[in-house]
Structure 1
Amino acid sequence: MLGLKTVVLECKDIPQLLDFYGQLLKWPVVYNIDTFVRIQSKDTGMCIAFQYDEDYIPPVWPSQVGKQQMMSHLDFGVSDKDEMEAATKKAIELGAKVTEEQYGDGEWITLVDPAGHPFCFVLWD
Structure 2
Amino acid sequence: MSDRPSMSLSGIVLDAPDARELAAFYRRLLGWTVSQDEPDWVKLAAPDGGPGLSFQTETAYTRPTWPAGPGDQRMMVHLDIKVEDLEVAGAHAAASGAVLADFQPQDDVRVYLDPAGHPFCLFTTE
TM-score (norm 1): 0.90
1:124 Cα deviation after fit: 2.9
Q: Does 1:32 align with 2:34?
A: no
Residue 111 (structure 1) aligns with: 112
Alignment match of 2:61 (pick from 49, 52, 56): 56
RMSD: 1.3
- For 2:123 and 2:20, how far apart are their aligned partners in 1? 26
Structure 1 residue 115, shift from structure 2 partner: 0.6
Partner Cα separation in structure 2 for residue 57 and residue 19 of structure 1: 20
Alignment partner, residue 101 of structure 1: 103
Query: Following the alignment from structure 1 to structure 2, what is the Cα–Cα distance between the partners of residues 15 and 38?
Result: 9
Q: Are positions 1:45 and 2:50 aligned together?
A: yes
Q: 1:90 aligns to what?
A: 92
| Cα offset, 1:87, TM superposition | 1.4
What is the rounded CA distance, in whole Å, between the counterparts of 1:88 and 1:3 in structure 2? Answer: 31
Shift of 1:85: 1.3
How far residue 15 of structure 1 moved from its aligned partner, in angstroms, is: 2.2
What per-residue deviation string (whole Å, max 9, x for no partner) do you get for residues 75-94 of structure 1? 00113xxx221111111112
Identity of aligned residues (%): 36
Instruction: Out of 42-51 and 68-77, give the one that drifted further.
Output: 42-51
Per the alignment, in what secondary structure is the counterpart of residue 24 of structure 1?
helix
Q: Which runs of 5+ in 2 are unaligned?
A: 1-5
Is 2:20–2:41's contact at 8 Å kept on the other side of the alignment?
no
> 2:32 touches 2:47 (CA, 8 Å); kept in 1?
yes
Kindly state the Cα deviation for residue 46 of structure 1 after the two structures are TM-superposed: 2.2
Which deviations, in whole Å up to 9, do the C-alpha atoms of 1:54-86 show, x marking residues without a partner? Answer: 00011001011111111110000113xxx2211
Partner of 2:22: 17
**For the residues of structure 2 that align with 1:87 and 1:2, how far apart are their CA atoms?**
33
Gaps of 5+ in 1: none
How many pairs were matched up?
Answer: 121
